[in-house]
Amino acid sequence: MPERKRKPRVAVVDWKPAPASIDGVTVERKVLGKAAEVKYYLADTEADFTLAILNADAIIVWQNTDVTERTLSKMKNCRALIRNGVGYDTVDVKTAGRLGIPVCNVPDYGTEEVADHAIALTMAQVRQLFPLDREAKKPAWKLHVKEKLRRLSTLTLGIVGLGRIGTACALRAKALGFRVVFYDPYLPNGTHKAVGVERVDSLEALLRQVDVLSLHCPLTEETRYLIAEKELAMMKPTAYVVNTARGAVIKKKAILAALRKGVIAGAALDVIENEPLKTKAEAATPNLIATCHAAFCSVEGMVEMRTTSARIAKLAVTGKPVENLVNEEWLV
């Protein structure tokens, strides 16, 4: 009898310390149907990648799990490595390309959620929501922060990176009355005119004028520590920083020190370099708001993201061209 053809296998690798999926792989199995067998695994680091994961025909990886050459070299059957999210800085895309492994991401989910979260963090700072909440719960409260409360129409919100999420954030900020300016050296001239925002030609020009800085750029060799001691010193002492992009775009040591010294008025960080915060001293930093890398999250957004990544896996295991390929220039 002829040998029975093996059914393709798709491995979904979630993060062990804080699994993102609440139902295993229900969504993925629905999308893949009979095209592949789908299995769910938990991994803290790539050292936790079992043979079953390494031998899969397509691998979907959630956030925070590094995938380096050591692991990629063992993926002999992999037709696609899919990062379940927008950022793919945790994957060695160049090596994957050299090994013939397509790397894909899911750039078109969560745009609304991240933009909403950035605006929520902005409003929490300029309207001093958390200090007011703490004060209002005292037996005899006083309005101590009135000198910090700002009229939105008098404020400038600066955006770094006018991509999908940056644009969504800009439109929301405009609707609230902010003057919006942005810095993005890779955006073609004139694109911003359709959005109705102002452009500056340098990061320094942006930093020196903004009341709120909102970061929406990917983490690359160029943007790592884009905001550090020098850049924070350029900002107004009354300015706020919001980061819903990638943690290491801001140097953690620099921004925590800036908050303690009053170099800036506050920071609201959904993502933090080497997250989470490591010590009680870091967590107690004055005028710091932190959320749990949750900007992307909503019931609808999670389903959208998982559906897209599963669809890409299905394309890969059925021999069709994949979507959202991020390492095409290195792929052999």
| Strand, coil or helix: 183 | strand
- What's 5's DSSP letter? P
* Dihedral sign computed on CA atoms, order 315, 319, 322, 327: positive
For 84-115, give the DSSP string: SSS--TTB-HHHHHHTT--EE--TTSSHHHHH
**247 within 8 A of 273, measured Cβ to Cβ:** yes
* Catalytic, out of 293, 304, 306, 323: 293
Give dist(CA 179, CA 198) in Å, integer: 8
- What's 227's DSSP letter? B
* Catalytic, out of 83, 246, 306, 311: 246
Give dist(CA 204, CA 225) in Å, integer: 14
Q: Does residue 329 have an active-site annotation?
A: no
Q: Does residue 112 have an active-site annotation?
A: no
Which residues touch 3 (CB under 8 Å, ≥6 apart)? Answer: none
* Catalytic, out of 112, 135, 229, 275: 275
Q: Which residue has the tokens 């492994």?
A: 101
Give dist(CA 20, CA 1) in Å, integer: 44
**156 within 8 A of 178, measured Cβ to Cβ:** yes
**114 within 8 A of 138, measured Cβ to Cβ:** no
- Return the exposure string of 3-34: e unless at least 16 CB atoms fall within 10 Å of the residue's CB, then b: eeeeebbbbbbbbeeeebbeeebebbbebbee
Q: Does residue 135 have an active-site annotation?
A: no
Question: CA nearest 225: which of 159, 257, 273, 166?
Answer: 273
- Where are the strands (E) in the chain, listed by range? 9-15, 37-43, 58-61, 80-83, 103-104, 156-160, 179-183, 198-199, 212-215, 240-243, 266-269, 288-290
Query: Which backbone phi and psi does 142 adopt, to 5 degrees?
Result: -135, 150
Q: Give catalytic residues, as residue numbers.
A: 246, 275, 293
